[in-house]
Amino acid sequence: MLKGWPETDELKKMLLEQVSSFARAEIATKAKELDETARFPTEIVKKLGEMGLMGMMVPEQWGGAGMDAVSYAMAMEEVSAACASTGVIMSVNNSLVCAPLLAFGTDAQKAKYLVALAGGEKLGCFALSEPGYGSDPAGLKCHAAKVEGGYKINGTKNWITNGREADYCILFATLDASLRHKGICAFVVDTKLKGYQVAKLEHKLGICASSTAQLFFDDVFVPDECLLGKEGQGLKVALNTLDGGRIGIASQALGIARCALDASKQFALEREQFGAPIAKLQAIQFFIADMATRLQGARLLTWCAARNKDLGLGYTKEAAMAKLAAAEAAMWIATKAIQVHGGYGYTKDYVVERNFRDAKITEIYEGTSEIQRLVIASQELAG
C-alpha cells in the first residue's frame, strides 16, 4: 500500500519503483488488448484505487494517499507509459474530480463524495465542454433553473472522459447564459439520478480503452447541497481545476513519449541494415538524441509546475507550459519513433503505432495547444 507515505526523495523513489513495476507487470501487458477491444480496464482501475493512486493528492482524512503533485506527476508518467487510456482515467479522477471537491467542497460533500472517489471505490467525470463550447466554456448553455430545494438541469455535454462509468460527475451549468461566466455554477451530481443519460460514445483515434461520452441532462433534479462553491463561481472552479489537470495530462504525454523512445532505442539496437544495427547510423542517433532531449525538457517543465503547486505558488502559466511542451514533445517523439521503425512502425505489431494515435489527444483535451499558448501569453504580457 502506498497510502500515507511521507514525502521524501527516498520515498518518492520507492513510490516510483512500486508504480513502475505494477505498470509493467499488470498494465503494459494488457494495453494492446485494451486498445484493440476498447475495453474499459475495470480490474486495473480497481487496483489503482487499492494502491492509493486514484486520489493521490487528497489527504488521508478524506480517503486519499496524502501525496504531493510531483509524486502524482511521476506516477502518472509510469501508468501512461504502460497504457495511455488507463492514464487518462486516473488523471480525470485525481485532477478533475477529487481536486475540485477538495478545494471547493464542504465537509459534508467531502465526506459523501470525496472519500469514496479518492479511495477508488467510486469513479468520477468532469462535464464542462458542450457541442458548441469547448475552448470557450464561459459561453456554455447547459441550464440550471433554481427550483424549490435545488436546481433542475437541462443540457448536453460533450467529450466526457469516464462519462459511461462515472458514479459522480462534476457538472457545470449556467443560471443565465447572458451573464457569461458570472452565471455558471459547479455541481457534484450522482449519475444515478433520473435524467442523466449517456447519449453517445465516441469512436476515437486513440486512448480507445477510456470512454468518451456525450451526456444528456434531461430535467435532472440536483439538491441544493450539491452546489460546489458558490453560484456564479463555476468557471473559476473549472479553470482552477484545469490548471491542475494540465499537470496530469502533461505527465500522461511524458509517459506516451517515453514508451515511444524506449521502443525506438530497443528497435535501433536490434534492427540491422547495411550490415550493422541501425543504432550505428548517425541519422538514427540524432533522432534518439533529439527525442530524449525533448522528453527531458518537457519532464522538467512538468515537475516545475507540480513543484509550484506543492509550494503553494502560482502554477497556471507553468501548467500551461508543461502541457504545451509535453503534448508537442509526445507527438513529435511518436512521429520520429515510427520513422526509426520504418514500415514496422506503421503496423499494429509495434507499440509506436499506438503511441502515435494516443499522443494526438494530449494536444487537444484539457485545453488545446493553442489555448495553452493564450494562457502563457496573457500571463507573460500581464507583467
Query: Any idea which residues carry the catalytic annotation?
Result: 366
Contacts of ligand CAA in 113-132 (CB under 6 A): 126, 128-129
* Residues 206, 117: Cα–Cα separation, whole Å: 26
Site membership for ligand CAA, residue 11 (CB under 6 A): no
**Are the C-beta atoms of 119 and 149 separated by less than 8 Å?**
no
Q: Pick from 41, 234, 345, 367 the residue near ligand CAA by CB under 6 A.
A: 367
By the rule CB under 6 A, 324 interacts with ligand CAA: no
Candidates 21, 37, 42, 135: give the one binding ligand CAA (CB under 6 A): 135
315 binds ligand CAA (CB under 6 A): no
Region binding ligand CAA by CB under 6 A among candidate stretches 65-73, 223-231, 338-346, 362-370: 362-370
Comparing CB distances to ligand CAA, the nearer of 193 and 239 is 239
Burial class (CB in 10 A: 0-12, 13-18, 19+), 236: middle
Contact 238, 344 (CB under 8 A): no
Helices (H), 58-196: 69-82, 84-91, 99-104, 107-109, 115-118
Cell 460533450 sits on residue: 158
Non-local (6+) Cβ contacts of 42 within 8 A are none
Which of 19, 27, 235, 305 is close enough to bind ligand CAA by CB under 6 A? Answer: 235
Q: 167-196 mask for ligand CAA (x: CB under 6 A)?
A: --------------x---------------
Q: Which residues, at least 6 apart from 311, have a Cβ–Cβ distance to it below 8 Å? A: none
Piece of 36-44, 156-164, 268-276, 299-307 that binds ligand CAA (CB under 6 A): 156-164
DSSP secondary structure code for residue 59 in this structure: -
141 near ligand CAA (CB under 6 A):
no
**Closest separation in Å from C-beta 239 to ligand CAA:** 4
Judge whether 333 and 356 are in contact, CB under 8 Å: no
**Given the rule CB under 6 A, which residues bind ligand CAA?**
92, 126, 128-129, 135-138, 159-161, 181, 235-236, 239-240, 242-243, 316, 365-367, 371, 374-375
